[in-house]
Amino acid sequence: MKVFVALFATLACASAGLVVPATTVLRAPAHDSAVIQSHRFGGNFAYRTDEAHAFAAVSPVVSTVRKAVGVSYSHGAPPLPTPSKFSSWTKYKRTVAWILRFLRNSTLKGEQKRQRNLGPLTVSELHDAEKTILQMVQAEAYRTELQQLQAATRIRDSYLHCPGTVPLVHHTLSDVLDRAASDFGTREGVIFVHQDIRRTWLEVRQEADRLARGFLSLGLEKGDRIGIWATNKYEWLLTQYAAAKAGLVLVNVNQAYQSRELEYCLRKVGVRTLVAGQGYRTSDYYTMLTELVPALAEGEAGVPLTVRSEKLPQLRDIVMIGGERRRGVLRFDDLLDAGKESLSGELERRQAQVSCDDPCSIMFTSGTTGLPKGATLSHHNIVNNMKQMGSRTGFDQLSVRVCAPVPLYHAFGCVAGSILAPLFGSTLVFPSEAFDAVAALQATEAEKCTHMYGTPTMFVDMVNISKQGRYDISSLHSGFIGGAPVPFHLMEAMMNEMNMTGSIVGYGLTETGPILTLSYPSDDVEHRCGTVGYPLDHTELKVVDEHGRTLPVGTAGELCMRGYNLFLGYWDDEEKTAECLTPSGWFHTGDVAVMNEDGYVKIVGRAKDMVIRGGENIYPTEVEDFLMTHPDVLEAAAFGVPDERMGEELAVWIRTREHDSLSEHDIRSFCKGRIAHHKIPCHIQFRDDFPKTVTGKIQKFAMREIMTKELGSEK
């Protein structure tokens, strides 16, 4: 009860108008009474700390709370225990996290319950106070440690090894789901707003078991590839979990793929069974499938055929999501019904055969250049990658409800979403089948989401709508933004318009599990926007020149990595795998980066995107970042186009906030004297939209082709 008094006293701070000083935010080292070596900074300096040091940091908070209690309660300040009364810092953090969940549940259970538990506090005041407490207990334990270590040691070469404080685990995705059902069984696990579906983690596990038994009834063997080609639906998530339980390798198929692309991917990895949705935008999936498998149209409605196709020789079964019975295919719901309890023993035996080092997922690269490659990730890769991400960002301490408008076929959705959530018992909310800014904000309001996922392009749209004040998204306080560089003005708008003061920036590739670097919630805006964060624990990073030599800090070169999160290789493509992997295990990302002396990394651009103008190297990302500082520029994309005299010239497409608000002269005047002359774009065009992938990644190769043709026609 004394702990409850402490927390309610903190709430009273908010209601009494008192603010807990920012300098007294609760922080502690990751281990109690631990010696933490500064290997991540390349030195031998050791920083020793213990509970007494950690608890001392919160004494000003306790003092503020005592004063608040004295103001709020007429009978004076009751006795308030300090955190040092607890046997360990970990127990204190866990207790506070539990109380936060209690307070949140009390609020959501209704006004009468709220009044009984919270006295004079309004719901709005509760949210404000809760945010203050979340800032206090959020897992930013490294901040003090990092500041101490950074002050003592600075790296000189662009190499960093992060030994890690959160140990790696030896779990499969099936293990993760089983543990979620055991530890968080009654907690809401997934919500698909557009399908009116909500499930607890126990219910998700039960239905995943049913579907896994259904897969066994089809005769699928351990290691068989099963494709999933659908928009964001509950069935997508079930297929992912069920495939892991049955020892199958999930193949993510881009929801925007057309017949030719679908054929290539299914044939490349030898998909045995395909689970397909109804379609995406104007595409009808069944019609495209009949082009590849003509025999489907000759079958009976609702009677599945054993597929035989010259174009897809290994495909045997097609399962369609939806109520309609189609010719020659099996309905998803019928497959669920086929997962009889009599197969439970076989499923248990199959699960026991699956190793965490086995392939778990094949994700095709986005195809912005060349044919897509099937990056193969193991259970060990993705489970541990999310374990490290969640621990850094506080998912292990907080009650988290994530709004995820990102596509499930992409690693953003099917790793940072559907694997991170069961690991920490979070709630995952999908607002729509495909990205819809309005639907995302509506879902955030209705479901009281605390975190928002998205790419910069998605957040641009959500920020613009948030400015209209139509939705109450005050429950938001954090989120994850990745996929492209984040402009300063966008991060500031996210913080001001969407309350995302704790938002973090991440960077990675499908091949790296996918997260490689990640900012801390406590990082300043300069670090969150000027860099892509700090390397995750248990990884090595270095920046090298064209000869593979490690460069000094602050020097641009290719970013390389190795660690537990490195993929198994490109499926059935040893040549492409060998091109990016060295004999010593280093993976070449293809990105040009700069490592700062504090270990944070900045991505300058893709090596292949670099523009060479008359012998001068120009990194498009640098030019884009500069143009985005113009108040009227909403989005900018720079790229090279052929030029007879200079070899290449720099071109840029710009999307403005208001139509016809800028001219080419305005842009050149803005650049003059602020960036080097050779970096000022030669060709400037204003466009309403850019060609992009489904995840919002700009396809510069398409822009280059369009611009080259236009310039050629002008000549």
Q: Tell me the average pLDDT across 128-146.
A: 46
Of 153, 176, 211, the residue at which a domain comes to its end is 153
Who has greater pLDDT, 381 or 618? 381
Residues 616 and 601 in one domain: no
User: With bands split at pLDDT 50, 70 and 90, how would you rate the model's confidence at 520?
Assistant: confident
Containing 197, the helix (H) or strand (E) segment is strand 197-200
| Cα dihedral 341, 343, 345, 351 in deg (nearest 10) | -110
Residue 697 burial (CB < 10 Å; 0-12/13-18/19+)? Answer: middle
Q: Which of 286, 231, 227 is nearest to 251 (CA)?
A: 227
- The whole-angstrom separation of Cα 278 and Cα 155 is 53
**pLDDT beyond 80 at 135:** no
Whether residue 126 is contained in a domain is answered as: yes
CB 320 within 8 A of CB 333: no
Supply the pLDDT for residue 142.
Answer: 41
Assign residue 615 the CATH number of its domain.
3.30.300.30
Residues 625 and 708 in one domain: yes
Residues 6+ apart with CB under 8 A from 170: 356, 380
Residues 408 and 557 in one domain: yes
423: left (phi over 0), alpha (psi -120 to 50) or beta: alpha
Residues 6+ apart with CB under 8 A from 245: 174, 177, 208, 209, 212, 347, 350, 351
Residues 512 and 407 in one domain: yes
Q: Which two tokens stand for residue 703?
A: 């822009």
- The whole-angstrom separation of Cα 348 and Cα 520 is 40
When divided into structural domains, the chain yields a total of 4
Beta bridge partners of 616: 613
Supply the pLDDT for residue 604.
Answer: 84
Supply the pLDDT for residue 712.
Answer: 80
User: With bands split at pLDDT 50, 70 and 90, how would you rate the model's confidence at 39?
Assistant: very low
**pLDDT beyond 80 at 82:** no
Whether residue 686 is contained in a domain is answered as: yes
- The whole-angstrom separation of Cα 158 and Cα 599 is 8
Q: Give CA 335 to chain center in angstroms.
A: 31
CB 661 within 8 A of CB 632: yes
Secondary structure (H, E, C), 336-355: HHHCCHHHHHHHHHHHHHCC
User: With bands split at pLDDT 50, 70 and 90, how would you rate the model's confidence at 67?
Assistant: very low
Assign residue 563 the CATH number of its domain.
3.40.50.12780
Residues 210 and 349 in one domain: yes
* Amino acid, res. 467: K
Residues 680 and 560 in one domain: no
- Across all residues in the chain, what is the average pLDDT? 80
pLDDT, tens digit, 9 for 90 and up, residues 287-316 = 999 999 998 988 887 778 788 888 999 999
CB 532 within 8 A of CB 594: no
Distance set, CA 24 to CA 135, 149, 571 (Å): 10, 20, 50
Whether residue 193 is contained in a domain is answered as: no
Block residue for tokens 């795998």: 577
Whether the pTM exceeds 0.85: the reply is: no
Whether residue 275 is contained in a domain is answered as: yes
Q: Of 121-135, 155-169, 206-220, where does mean pLDDT reach its minimum?
A: 121-135
Domain coverage including residue 19: 2-153
User: With bands split at pLDDT 50, 70 and 90, how would you rate the model's confidence at 7?
Assistant: very low
CB 397 within 8 A of CB 478: no
Q: Give CA 136 to chain center in angstroms.
A: 23
Beta strand spans in 435-513 (E): 451-454, 478-481, 504-508
Distance set, CA 330 to CA 230, 283, 316, 570, 665 (Å): 15, 20, 11, 30, 60
Of 319, 354, 389, the residue at which a domain comes to its end is 354
